[in-house]
């Protein structure tokens, strides 16, 4: 995996401006509503002000939903309520405006982007702008083999970085991050269990679509087998992603790190983005300062990952559908925080 040195991110990623945040906190004390009256909105507005590097904070006017998509070979073991190779149908629903995240994005007026990294379909079945970063057709089975070759892992990681650069260059001021996958929560659970040094049963959830007890046991066994393969490469995050992450999770990790380099705030969705954030934190300890956790997904692995990262979800509405839906639901809260701190008058 020559040519890509993840250690560079440690030097490239700086925290949001602490002095700006202090200025934002001082300005908040001068606003008409009493300190504390806006609850967590104060914290969100001050965080965003530091991320933007200015006081008062600018309203969030150019958000973007970015979804990394892929099929996972481990889905062949019936660990998901959806059929193996079924992520293409989910992507089509998003593109056609028929999925929950697409409906909300349309309602909120937020552009939506899908990035195919490893869907199990002919690329001609989807628009070229969706498939242009594809690494392979489906990621490998994490329980018995690497999900990606070394070269594919670097390609996927660089693709995520490129998408982050494209969004920053286009003026996107906040990203709502999600995934469209079948088998992705199994890969995510494996990564989180490995990085948190815990057992498969502790992190195995029911997935966004919900699975029965037999499928849960199969998923738990798959994560257990994946853990045996993940633990020997814990010291090398790119090798870890190649072993058990798959192309979409590898790209998401690259996206998160490069977004932090480019000072682009990101709202995480469910367990998949939480797993990628946990890997990214291992690469660059300052990176999580650029992220918010949008919602509680109900997956035990997500709770464990966010606790390790130190992120407290904004919402807990029992939304398990995935695909960035929960994170997008939290966007108006962030926008409200920015608008209030930007527009409320100061006391005379």
**CATH class entry, domain 8-58+339-343:** mainly alpha
Which secondary-structure segment (H or E) carries 291?
strand 291-293
Would you give the distance in Å from CA 287 to the centre of its chain? 13
**58 contacts: CB under 8 Å, gap ≥ 6:** 52, 173, 338, 342
CA–CA gap between residue 266 and residue 276 (Å, rounded)? 13
Question: d(Cα 190, Cα 229) in Å, to the nearest integer?
Answer: 10
- At residue 1, the pLDDT reads 41
pLDDT for 211 beyond 70: yes
% of residues, the chain, pLDDT over 70: 99
Indicate if 323 belongs to the active site.
Answer: yes
Q: What is the pLDDT of residue 157?
A: 98
Instruction: Give the whole-angstrom CA distance, residue 184 versus residue 70.
Output: 8
Into which CATH architecture does domain 63-333 fall?
Answer: 3-Layer(aba) Sandwich (3.40)
Residue 298: its pLDDT value, please?
Answer: 87
For the chain, domain boundaries: 8-58+339-343, 63-333
Give the active site residue among 46, 152, 299, 323.
Answer: 323
Average pLDDT along the chain = 95
pLDDT at res. 24:
94
| 273-305: pLDDT as tens digits | 999 999 999 999 999 999 999 999 989 999 999
Task: Give 310-342 pLDDT, tens digit per residue.
Answer: 999 999 998 988 899 999 999 999 999 999 999
What pLDDT digit, counting tens, does each position of 145-193 carry? Answer: 999 999 999 999 999 999 999 999 999 999 999 999 999 999 999 999 9
Peptide bond into 56 cis (omega under 30): yes
Q: What radius of gyration, in Å, describes the C-alpha atoms of the chain? A: 19
Average pLDDT over residues 222-238: 97
């Amino acid at each position: 995996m020559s040519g890509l040195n993840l250690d560079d991110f440690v030097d490239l990623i700086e925290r949001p401006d602490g002095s700006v945040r202090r200025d934002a906190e001082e300005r908040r004390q001068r606003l008409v509503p009493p300190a504390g009256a806006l609850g967590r909105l104060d914290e969100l507005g001050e965080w965003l002000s530091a991320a933007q590097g200015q006081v008062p904070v600018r309203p969030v006017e150019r958000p973007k939903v970015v979804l990394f998509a892929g099929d996972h070979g481990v889905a062949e073991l019936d660990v998901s309520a959806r059929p193996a190779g079924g992520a293409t149908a989910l992507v089509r629903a998003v593109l056609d405006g028929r999925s929950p995240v697409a409906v909300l994005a349309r309602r909120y007026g937020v552009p939506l982007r899908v990035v195919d990294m490893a869907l199990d379909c002919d690329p001609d079945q989807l628009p070229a702008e969706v498939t242009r970063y594809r690494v392979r057709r489906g990621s490998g089975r994490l329980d018995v083999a690497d999900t990606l070759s070394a070269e594919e892992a670097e390609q996927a990681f660089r693709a995520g970085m490129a998408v982050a650069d494209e969004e920053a260059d286009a003026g996107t001021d906040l990203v709502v991050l999600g995934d469209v996958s079948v088998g992705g929560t199994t890969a995510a659970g494996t990564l989180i269990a490995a990085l948190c040094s815990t057992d498969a049963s502790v992190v195995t959830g029911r997935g966004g679509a919900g699975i029965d007890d037999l499928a849960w046991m199969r998923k738990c066994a798959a994560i257990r087998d994946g853990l045996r393969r993940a633990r020997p490469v814990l010291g090398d995050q790119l090798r870890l992603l190649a072993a058990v992450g798959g192309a979409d999770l590898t790209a998401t990790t690259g996206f998160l790190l490069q977004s932090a380099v480019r000072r682009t705030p990101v709202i995480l969705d469910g367990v998949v983005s939480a797993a990628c954030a946990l890997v990214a934190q291992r690469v660059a300890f300052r990176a999580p300062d650029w992220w918010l956790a949008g919602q509680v997904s109900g997956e035990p692995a997500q709770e464990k990952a966010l606790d390790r990262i130190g992120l407290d979800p904004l919402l807990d509405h029992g939304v398990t559908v995935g695909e960035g839906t929960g994170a997008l639901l939290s966007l108006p809260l962030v926008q409200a925080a920015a608008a209030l701190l930007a527009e409320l008058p100061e006391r005379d």
